[in-house]
Chains A and B, each alone.
Chain A
Amino acid sequence: MFKKILIANRGEIANRIIKACSELDIISVAIYSEADKNALHVRRADEAYFIGPSPANESYLNKEKIIDLAKKIGADAIHPGYGFLSENSEFIRMVEEAGITFIGPSSQSVKMMGEKTSARRLMKSHNVPIVPGTTEPIKNVEEGKKSAAEIGYPVMLKAAAGGGGKGMRKILNEDDFESSYSQAKNEALKAFGNDDVYLEKFIENPKHIEVQILADKFGNYIHLFERECSIQRRHQKVIEEAPSISVDDSTRKKITTAAVNAAKACSYYNAGTIEFLMDKKKDFYFLEMNTRLQVEHPVTEMITGVDIVKLQIKIASCERLTLKQEDLKIHGHAIECRIYAEDVDNNFAPSTGKIIHHKLTSGPGIRIDYGIDLMSQVSIYYDSMLAKVIAWGIDRDEAIVRIMRALSEYQISGVITNTPSFTWMLKQKTFLDGTFDINFLENEFFPLLPGKWKDGSTNDAEEIAAVLGALLKLQERGTTLSNNQITNNNQWRKQQYD
């Protein structure tokens, strides 16, 4: 087993990996940029090293610096988390050549799947169904327009090196092609350092279903069932569940088999996820493979009892998978809500600032994976996800009421978060009966922006805000309030039990 693991990431996922290291008795090493000096992962890791200025390409994306540091401090493995360098085959190759173990798949597997167009060709040849579209990157606007016309509008423009919705655009007609093309290319270049894009037919009203795969370096493959990730905004997932309410036993058998075949096609090892689009007839199409740990891995951990991050580390250190497919069962239901620093009613504008208050919640079935704490800085440089609230219940209904409770108790202040919007989403009929698809937010939530979705549900809290506002203003103005109106520790608090 490894002695020291360098975690080439930040935020909640760096903290998640630190916990796994701690349980495996491995020394965890954090790296941090200028903006992250006070970040939580820096405080929690056994060792922490400054890596560079705040912009990601000078810190968390700086391959040479990270590898040099790993060598210098004697780290025997690097965990990339998700995003940043996690799916960068060049980085993985450099790590391999430096004699350090990369906790993830081989650079060859990542290269095969990471370049989305070659992945599509590979899947096609292994009889995994793919979305109709191009299997080569688009060379210029004219060629793109020609292909788009052949496929038929609307089409999706996607980054060949992409993921997470970055460098992705839906194009309705030829007039919009050129501007979408250049925006997607710019975003792709910035997010992934590669501006290749390709086209896919736009599939109407699908669900996003994905399958978690685990494989060791000895050719043993298992799947950990599916996740439903259809609640998305601009291709960023917002709510994820396991299992999916729309996947029946026979579909589950087909889609998990296809996923295992996809993993075998690229001689995959470690944890990976095969994403599919599933239409109303429950036909599914390969979308892409994420050759890394997923943000939403906790819902799978909750229903299977498997610690995916620890298994990643064990697999990387050449241990065999002892889990057998027939031993795995779906137990109960899990839901995850992603807490983003964004102002839902102001066009989802990212909110930045210093965290001045952070109070977690707990209780039956609740887990919170978070990357912030008091005084940590939420900056414009990185992804705006602050935390993930995860609930487990014996069935879907119980998971839903539990997550609603937890969301109302979880307090973050200093930045504006999307937390209250979940109380609306989790109550909608289409969410509850499972008929929602990836357009749920666009069709049902967006028309209620700004503010209308709150629809009276906040009246009481609004009155409290008004009264407190008046009392604080009065206090500021230096007017003396009578004793029982504001004191630092007044009578009724003293009545509380210790």
Chain B
Amino acid sequence: MTEFVITINYRKHTVKVSENSSVEIGDKKVETEISQISNNFYLIRFGNSVFEVIANKLDRDKYGFLIDGFYFETIIRTQLEETVIELQKKKSKIRHHSDVKAPMPGLLLKLKKGIGDQVSLGEPLLLLEAMKMENELRSPASGRVKNIFFREGQSIEKDAIILTIE
């Protein structure tokens, strides 16, 4: 039997899959069966209903699933992997620094702070342009700008770290 911890929207689900193909989610046993229709397209029987699911692999342990019009970013780890990552998280919390990540892909229009500048919580840091709208990113913490990884005029991918504050 393999036990997985699945994280969706910060909620954790435990799923157990046994050798004889029975599946348990939480303490509920479900009849399930999946069929792969094409690269990203699956049918899944769940109890007495069949659902179409579009699966998009995002990362090593991350899938995006579209089910019934709803989209779920789903992190899938074995019980062991989950335990290791939780431990690492606790460690990194001890150090005090904040990364400012791009919430969307875009063009870095203007940096309002330089390396070494003091910033306070909520202070505007930079302008990011995406789809013709200017978006102001504000500081998630008070402190000093430690590193800046992009120049004005550069394109930034979603979730890239733009600068760090310590």
Contact = CB atoms under 8 A, between A and B. Distances in A.
Nearest to B50: A492
B46 interface: yes
A412 B52 CA distance: 12
A470 B4 contact: yes
A127 interface: no
Contacts of A458: 70, 72
8 contacts: A191-B132, A357-B40, A413-B40, A461-B68, A468-B63, A469-B15, A469-B65, A492-B33
- By DSSP majority rule, is chain A's interface helix, strand, loop, or mixed? mixed
A470 B104 CA distance: 28
Nearest to B14: A466
B43 interface: yes
A451 B9 contact: yes
B107 to A, nearest CB: 7
A493 B105 contact: no
A50 to B, nearest CB: 22
Given A350-B105, A470-B4, A380 B17 contact: no
A409 B65 CA distance: 15
Given A458-B70, A471-B34, A474-B2, A183 B54 contact: no
B148 to A, nearest CB: 21
A145 B25 CA distance: 61
Contact of A468 (B21, B55, B107): B55
B107 A486 contact: no
A352 B105 contact: yes
Interface stretch (A414-422, A427-435, A439-447): A414-422
Interface in B107-166: 107, 129-134, 155, 158
Query: Closest 8 A-B residue pairs measured CB to CB?
Result: A349-B104, A470-B15, A413-B54, A466-B6, A466-B13, A469-B76, A470-B4, A461-B67
- By DSSP majority rule, is chain B's interface helix, strand, loop, or mixed? strand
Contact of A469 (B4, B11, B105): B4
A463 B11 CA distance: 11
Most buried by A among B32, B56, B66: B66
A351 B131 CA distance: 10
B131 A350 contact: yes
B44 A468 contact: yes
A423 B68 CA distance: 11
Interface string B20-54: 11010100001011111001111111100001111
Contacts of B21: 481-482, 484-485
Interface residues of B, number: 61
B134 A186 contact: yes
Nearest to B39: A356
Contacts of B39: 356
Interface of A: 166, 183, 186-187, 190-191, 234, 343, 346-347, 349-352, 356-357, 380-384, 407-414, 416-417, 419-420, 423, 451, 454, 458, 460-474, 479, 481-482, 484-490, 492-493
B131 A382 contact: yes
Given A466-B8, A485-B21, A493-B43, A346 B72 contact: no
B134 A187 contact: yes
B65 to A, nearest CB: 4
Given A466-B74, A486-B34, A488-B35, A349 B13 contact: no
A274 B91 CA distance: 60
B30 A411 contact: no
A187 B104 CA distance: 18
B17 A469 contact: no
A465 B17 contact: no
Nearest to B30: A467
Contacts of B86: none
A405 to B, nearest CB: 10
Contacts of B158: 349, 352
A378 to B, nearest CB: 10
B71 A462 contact: no
Contacts of B30: 463, 467
Given A349-B103, A466-B8, 13 more contacts: A166-B133, A351-B104, A357-B66, A382-B131, A408-B69, A420-B69, A464-B53, A466-B74, A467-B30, A470-B6, A470-B17, A485-B34, A486-B34
